[in-house]
Amino acid sequence: MKKSVLVLGLAALFLTSCGEKKKEEVKKEVKVVVADNIELGKKLFAEKTCVACHQPDMKVIGPSIKDINKIYAEQNGDIVKFLKGEAEPIVDTDPGQVAIMKANLDGFVKNMSDEELVALASYMKSIK
């Protein structure tokens, strides 16, 4: 009886200790994927000329990335849906600005994959 309890106790200890290492490995993998996604987004932000109108903390032609992040967070908006044309603008709703942004979305963003759009949004959200 004592041997059975000892064996069961050791088995439980062994199984629980194995699970902790797996959690650490998953966390590391997630961090790598997120970092890769942000890097891809940064590259796309430059390549798709978003940087011509949007700077991290300064309004140029369009609002700053920080302002975009703030408003999307406050209003629980979805940047990816906006980029896909599935949501109305919530940051700069001036008709002239909307027309400029729509032309850019149709010209540069329309042909991006969902993965690329998520990466672009991840990069923008990484700017604090």
Specify the DSSP element, H or E, that contains 102.
helix 95-104
Mean pLDDT over 106-117 rounds to 90
Residue 120 class from Cβ within 10 Å (0-12 exposed, 13-18 middle, 19+ buried)? buried
pLDDT at 105: 86
The closest of 20, 15, 73, 79 to 45, measured between CA atoms, is 79
Select 2-126's CATH number: 1.10.10.10, 1.10.357.10, 3.20.20.210, 1.10.760.10: 1.10.760.10
pLDDT tens by residue, 29-49? 545 567 888 999 999 999 988
pLDDT tens by residue, 45-86? 999 889 999 999 999 999 999 999 999 999 999 999 999 989
Q: Would you list the domain boundaries of the chain?
A: 2-126
Sequence length of the chain is 128
d(CA 122, CA 15): 36
Alpha-helix residue ranges (DSSP H) falling in 48-64: none
Question: Does the reported pTM lie above 0.85?
Answer: no
